[in-house]
Structure 1
Amino acid sequence: MSSRVLSSSRSQCRLVKPILNYRCASTRNTTPEARRPRRILSGIQPTGIPHLGNYLGALSNWVKLQRDALPEDELIYTVVGWHALTLPQKPKELFKSRQDMMAVLLAVGLDPKRSIIFHQDHNPSHTELAWIFNCMTSLGQLRRMTTWKSKLATARNTKNESDIDESLLNAGLLTYPVLQAADILIYRATHVPVGDDQTQHIELCRDLADLFNRRFKGKGSMFSLPQIIKTQTKRILSLRDPSAKMSKSAPDLNSRILLTDTAPQIQAKIRSSVTDGLGELTYDPEARPGTANLLTILGAITGQEDLHALAATYSGKGHAELKTDTADAIEELLRGPRAEFERLRVETAYLNEVAEDGARRSKEKTDVTMKEVKARIGLA
């Protein structure tokens, strides 16, 4: 594949060198030539500029999936605006964030000529199928989901999820795993790259696919059961509170590195990150979560998987050297995507063109699915 990923007369951006390996339980130990074609889908919420955790845990992996895909593989990436509404949003800020997120996806190296890139809310089939699935999902299943509790805890700036007042829970936040299932199954996706915190949602998605197949029979199964693709990078934690993951909604701005942060801002945030006063550096996530978090970040960027060995390279040194190296590595990683994002975010016409083309291509796939779904349930 060419390293030029935007084949527009006006816009070109470079493919960011991938820094992560990925694995899929269903295709492990299988050569690319031997496996079946895959239809991969993933989405990201337009709730502010992505942070380092988003980049290491998702975006760079999407680029790698695109780079390593077979010609027969299909890749679908969406900006999930409907999901953003599960927590209060300011309309003008959400509108801008949607456009910025489209620019981010292109800036990090996704190619709209190779992947379908679009806004979820431009395709009404997502919410149409979600309603059907809502009518099949029990309240007990939804209450067992843990993510809505963590989202409310983050929004209320509390660590104790048991202290959350459930009267603050809106129906959309409770049922958004059902919409996520619809996002996946409307394309009959075979593989979904997610982090550990989303595994429970994919299990619900598989349950709904299986339930639909058994309840509404036809010529073969309507939906395949999607497989999870997990990245090997561990969760990136908050720089100020290493007991929690890095989050765009955390009140402390110094808790996260944003894609748009300058080199001085990155250095300042890493210097002020919480570590410990112990001596020799070691990788111990339980006893030394702040130090372990910096080693995780540095290891993910440099490709060093053995974090104990990485810590050993700092023998005779301290946190100051580790923080300097981590800040330098982050700046080297983000410099290119940051510059490309700043260039693309003002090219409104081009961003709209990409979004419209992606929506058209997505509807070509989902219209076929919805026609069969409606026929099976008796609405057509």
Structure 2
Amino acid sequence: MFRCIPIGLIVTRSGHHCRRKLSGQVALTGLQPTGIPHLGNYLGVIKPCVDLKKSGVLSGLLLLIADLHALTSMKSTLLSEAVWDLACVLCACLDEGENPICSIFPQSSVRGHTELAWILGSCCSISFVDLSGGVSWLLVLLLLHPKRLAHLPQWRDKSGLHSVNEQAPPHAKCKQSPDSAPAGACVGLFTYPVLQAADILLYGADVVPVGADQTAHIELARELVRSATTRWPALASILRIPTGLVLGAPKINSLRNPTKKMSKSDPSEGGCIYLTDSPDQIRLKVRRAQTDSQLGVSYNAEDRPGIANLLRILSALEVRFVGLELTVPVSNQVAEILYNG
């Protein structure tokens, strides 16, 4: 497995030393290698990073392939190939150029990630709490401040625990047992935000581009710095409080089921546009996208989710169309922009 792919300038083999070579503002963001990125991944993370790189405000951009995080959701036998797929896509999307320096490297190539995560985890006390209406069996880590890992989006959305408790009848919500824990509710997923904080803090990143749903994780990293430096003052010269940069990326949904997020696990073959799809495949998928029978084009996410989804894609790809009247069907316009792009 590769250790570091430098774009524009040669850096050391390990990403651990990338920050030392840079002066000025440095941005860091991580992407999980869960397969070939799709259009939602591109518009949500990759394109904003490309735009940030071109803006001229940075001296360096560090792109972390979060393969350790991916272990919570995929088989290790598939991980190596997924890391390479993501690395190749990132290299294809990022323009070469000396300024700013851009480095792509896998998280597992730097042991400092797990070492710092252990130190940050040691800033936590352990307590049994009553979570989401009475899941008293769950061992929850309480930080030295009131924030709880169990309330962060990563655990709440991916563990399945929240949905299990919501579906339980009122009289049963306080009687959950360990046997009722969802299969995905692993310890690694629960402590995910601590490792994510270590990813950020290890490189002293000034700016961390994130989606709107990740702002709570950035705040956790900031508070972990305060907790760690209070307990160990010597860390104050090492740990830097990061600033989150909310990307404001549009929510891109499935083309076949526009009420659900675009996903690689979409059961419908035409619901997801991959960055490796051929132009003809892209055109076919978009033209078969679910819309409605109403005349005209209007943005209404509740009543016209299919049209709204295509309009979000259109505005993200071609901002010059925002506010202008469309002279062709919106699906055709999106298809042609993607086909020619």
What interval of TM-score do these two structures reach, taking the shorter chain for normalisation? 0.7 to 0.9
Q: Any conservation in 2 of the 1:210–1:223 contact (CA below 8 Å)?
A: no
* 1:325 alignment partner in structure 2: 333
Aligned amino acid, residue 25 of structure 2: R
* 1:147 alignment partner in structure 2: 154
Secondary structure of the corresponding residue to residue 218 of structure 1: helix
Q: Aligned ranges for residues 307-318 of structure 1 at < 5 Å? A: 309-310=323-324, 312-314=325-327
Task: State the shift of 1:161 in Å.
Answer: 8.6
Secondary structure of the corresponding residue to residue 210 of structure 1: helix
* 1:103 alignment partner in structure 2: 88
How many equivalent residue pairs? 289
Runs of 5+ unmatched residues, structure 1: 9-35, 334-380
Q: Any conservation in 1 of the 2:299–2:307 contact (CA below 8 Å)?
A: yes
CA distance in 2, matches of 1:219, 1:83: 25
> Which of the pair is proportionally richer in helix?
1
Structure 1 stretch displaced more, 162-171 or 251-260: 162-171
Secondary structure of the corresponding residue to residue 246 of structure 2: strand
Runs of 5+ unmatched residues, structure 2: 1-6, 11-22, 126-140, 143-147, 169-179
Q: Deviations over 1:125-152 (max 9, x none)?
A: 0011111222224625111012334335
Confirm whether residue 75 of structure 1 aligns to residue 75 of structure 2.
no
CA distance in 2, matches of 1:305, 1:268: 22
Q: Deviations over 1:245-287 (max 9, x none)?
A: 2222334332211001112221222123222222221012232
Q: Deviations over 1:40-66 (max 9, x none)?
A: 101111110000011111112212222
* 1:63 alignment partner in structure 2: 50
User: Where does structure 1 differ by over 6 angstroms across 4 or more consecutive aligned residues?
Assistant: none
CA distance in 2, matches of 1:7, 1:129: 27
Give the TM-score normalised by the residue count of structure 1: 0.69
Q: Comparing both chains, which one has the higher relative contact order based on Cα–Cα distances under 8 Å and sequence gaps of 6 or more?
A: 1
Aligned amino acid, residue 65 of structure 2: V
Q: Any conservation in 1 of the 2:8–2:96 contact (CA below 8 Å)?
A: yes
Aligned pair partner of 1:250 in 247, 258, 266? 266
Aligned amino acid, residue 47 of structure 1: T
Aligned amino acid, residue 298 of structure 1: L
Task: State the shift of 1:81 in Å.
Answer: 0.5
Q: Aligned ranges for residues 1-380 of structure 1 at < 5 Å? A: 37-70=24-57, 73-91=59-77, 93-109=78-94, 111=96, 114-137=101-124, 139-140=141-142, 141-152=148-159, 162-163=166-167, 166-168=181-183, 169-218=185-234, 220=236, 222-304=238-320, 306=322, 309-310=323-324, 312-314=325-327, 321-333=329-341
The percentage of aligned residue pairs carrying the same residue is: 38
CA distance in 2, matches of 1:88, 1:300: 30
Q: 1:220 to 1:129 in 2, by over 3 A?
A: closer
Task: State the shift of 1:111 in Å.
Answer: 4.2
CA distance in 1, matches of 2:158, 2:265: 9
Q: Any conservation in 1 of the 2:154–2:189 contact (CA below 8 Å)?
A: no
Task: State the shift of 1:305 in Å.
Answer: 7.3
Q: Any conservation in 2 of the 1:145–1:200 contact (CA below 8 Å)?
A: yes
Q: Any conservation in 2 of the 1:149–1:161 contact (CA below 8 Å)?
A: no
Q: Any conservation in 2 of the 1:81–1:121 contact (CA below 8 Å)?
A: yes
* 1:364 alignment partner in structure 2: none
